[in-house]
């Protein structure tokens, strides 16, 4: 069988536009980790900043794919929630 005239994506069974947005997935993972570790430490700072940064970048990259944009938005929101929780935790520690 001659496969020269068949597109590559037809052989593999995948659509070229159906790939996942790596920035959106990274934002979601970093957002989940930042909420889990919002009690403090350098891991929180790194993951919250990563979630917010990649959430914005992933949302812009996924303007045509609403499902992937939702993943990026979820990561962004989780990063912001983690920052707010960290602020509340730090403020409550200083009070008797």
The reported pTM is: 0.71
Asked if residue 16 is part of any domain, the answer here is no
Asked if residue 61 is part of any domain, the answer here is yes
The structural domain count of the chain equals 1
Domain encompassing residue 31 = 21-93
Contact between 94 and 88 (Cβ < 8 Å): no
Asked if residue 12 is part of any domain, the answer here is no
Asked if residue 44 is part of any domain, the answer here is yes
Q: State pLDDT tens for residues 8-52.
A: 555 545 444 556 778 888 899 999 999 888 776 777 788 888 998
Asked if residue 49 is part of any domain, the answer here is yes
Which residues, including other chains, have CB under 8 Å from residue 30's CB and lie 6 or more apart?
47, 48, 50, 51, 54, 75, 79
Asked if residue 63 is part of any domain, the answer here is yes
């Amino acid at each position: 069988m001659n496969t020269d005239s068949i597109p590559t994506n037809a052989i593999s069974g995948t659509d070229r536009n159906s790939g996942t947005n790596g920035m959106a997935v990274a934002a979601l993972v970093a957002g989940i980790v930042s909420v889990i570790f919002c009690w403090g430490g350098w891991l929180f700072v790194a993951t919250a900043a990563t979630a917010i940064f990649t959430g914005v970048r992933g949302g812009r990259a996924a303007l045509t794919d609403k499902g992937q944009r939702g993943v990026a938005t979820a990561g962004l929101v989780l990063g912001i929630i983690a920052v707010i929780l960290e602020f509340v935790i730090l403020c409550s520690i200083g009070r008797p």
